Amino acid sequence: MPAPIRPQARAFRDLERALRRRRLLGLGPRLRLEFALLALLVGAFLFWQARVPLDGLVRAGGAGAAVGAVAVIALILAAASGALAGARLARLLRTGPAGPEWLALPIKPAALERHLAWEARRYEPWLWVPALAVLIAAIGLVAPGWLVLLTLGFLGLQPMAGRIGCALGQRAARGATEARPGVPDVVRMLATAAPRRPRPRTGAAVWWRAPAWLALAAKDLTFTRRHGPTRRAAALPIALWVLSVAVWWLPGESAMRHTLAFGLSLLAAAALAEWLIALVDSDPFAVLRVLPIGVASVWGARAALAAAGTLLVVAAQAVGSRELEPHARQLLLLWAGGATLAIGILGVNYGVTLHPQAGVAGRMLGLSLALAVAASVMLPLSGWIILLSAVAHSARRLPLWPRLEEV
């Protein structure tokens, strides 16, 4: 017989508290410090970007204009938080959430819905960084009373937006399932989530002698060809590389085509790094650790793929940029190839050293690239320093690979 709702709610609160603690401790002291420093640097950049425009608004339209601007930013951040939570909840309900077989447990549907919504909103605290940066930028320009009201307003808007987003996400997931009278929505959606498909038939295994890194690289390519999500992840950088070549045939000034080609090459490099992280994540942790291979083979297989991607982008840009002067063309090829290789290696470093936490590796990659872009905006070419520093710093964690644990 199901337990009363109050003990279930208390049990879920204890579970969520334990999950927060385990996820935080699973990052390790160094990674927690890195996340804190990245949040501080991103917040400082956003403060620097917001302070001057807010001061201009105060001078042009008075303090009320700055209050309105901060309020609009708070609304945008709250809406982004709700959209993120709604999208995550819809995906959880369509693919099946992590954890036990929820429908096999004597849990009230309302308690389970609240827990899944909490899981979907787990990344809300990241939006506190830009919100806090903008609020600090308004100090001295807006009256303290308004700052308090704006802070309280954001703290109230974000949970409300999260609940609205989760409701919309649940509605979207519910629309994709067949209606069943008398069956709670969450039960119906979880019962049909992630239907099992028969495994495709494959040919007999072919045994061949090869270095470990080459065997892993061949396995990665085979896995990419057969696994739909990974195949789509690999198709994205290829599509961006094709676009980066196609822009050279657009009408207009050569400088515009040059900028577009280089920008698309950078986006392709980020997509390449995401694909490499997915490949590292495809290695079952328990199986990988009992094989007679070391970090050099695991890292080298993916570094070879990053190098192959670099050669591909250099060849593509060499074909497309024939209209440039020789010196400008060489500089474009050097920058596009160097950025692709550095970003690809950064993705490999994070994927290997944070395995099997692919989500954390992806977030670290995104934060590092965002910080490099922000540095380039503040001071030209400084983004290269940030990017190469991130590559060198992440490489220092490679010797710790044998001590990784599955979490």
Within this chain, do residues 84 and 164 fall inside the same structural domain, yes or no?
yes
At residue 199, the pLDDT reads 52
Give the closest residue to 339 by CA, choosing from 279, 243, 260, 268.
268
In a domain, 199, yes or no: no
In this structure, the answer to whether residues 186 and 230 fall within a common structural domain is: no
330: containing domain: 212-217+224-403
Whether 150 is in a domain gets the answer: yes
Mean pLDDT of 152-161: 88
Q: Are 251 and 173 found together in one domain?
A: no
Most confident range (mean pLDDT) of 98-107, 318-327, 385-394 is: 385-394
- Whether 200 maps to a domain, the answer reads no
Separation CA 173–CA 154 (nearest Å): 28
Q: Give pLDDT, residue 322.
A: 81
Instruction: For the beta carbon of residue 398, count every other beta carbon within 10 angstroms.
Output: 15
User: Which residues contact residue 227 at a Cβ distance below 8 angstroms, ignoring those fewer than 6 apart?
Assistant: 282
Examine residue 202 and state whether it is found in any structural domain, yes or no. no
pTM of the model: 0.64
Residue 204 lies in a domain: no
Residues 76 and 166 in one domain: yes
How far apart, in whole angstroms, are the C-alpha atoms of residue 130 and residue 50? 10
User: Would you place residue 21 in the very low, low, confident or very high pLDDT band (cuts 50, 70, 90)?
Assistant: confident
Residue 275: per-residue pLDDT: 93
Give φ, ψ of 142 to 5 degrees.
-125, 145
* The pLDDT value given to residue 301: 92
pLDDT at residue 293 greater than cutoff 80:
yes
pLDDT of 387 higher than 90: no
pLDDT-based confidence at residue 348 (cuts at 50, 70, 90)? very high
253 occurs within a structural domain: yes
176 and 278 share one domain: no
Q: Are residues 228 and 170 in the same domain?
A: no
The pLDDT tens digits of the residues spanning 295-307 come to 889 999 999 999 9
Both 238 and 365 in a single domain?
A: yes
Residue 198, in any domain of the structure: no
Residues 31-67 have pLDDT tens digits of: 677 777 777 877 787 787 788 888 888 888 888 888 8
Q: How many residues in the chain?
A: 407
Q: Cα separation of 218 and 297, whole Å?
A: 12
For 99-140, give the DSSP string: SS-GGGS---HHHHHHHHHHHHTTTGGGGHHHHHHHHHHTBT
Does residue 118 share a domain with residue 56? yes
pLDDT digits (tens, 9 = 90+) for 78-108: 888 888 888 888 888 887 776 777 777 888 8
4-8, 153-157, 178-182: which range is least confident on average? Answer: 4-8
Does the residue 46 lie in any domain?
A: yes
Q: How many domains does the chain have?
A: 2
Q: Are residues 238 and 140 in the same domain?
A: no
Nearest to 157 by CA among 187, 182, 127: 127
The confidence band for 227, taking pLDDT boundaries of 50, 70 and 90, is confident
Say what the pLDDT of residue 6 is: 56
Of 71-85, 126-140, 199-213, the range with the lowest mean pLDDT is: 199-213
Please write the tens of the pLDDT for every residue from 352-383. 988 888 888 888 888 888 888 877 777 777 78
Same domain, 184 and 313: no
* Lowest-confidence region among 126-130, 202-206, 324-328, 372-376: 202-206
At 104 the pLDDT is 77
pLDDT value of position 3:
46
267 with 362, same domain: the answer is yes
Indicate whether 175 and 244 sit together in one domain: no
pLDDT band at 324 (very low <50, low <70, confident <90, very high): confident
| Rounded (10°) CA dihedral 28, 31, 32, 38 | 180
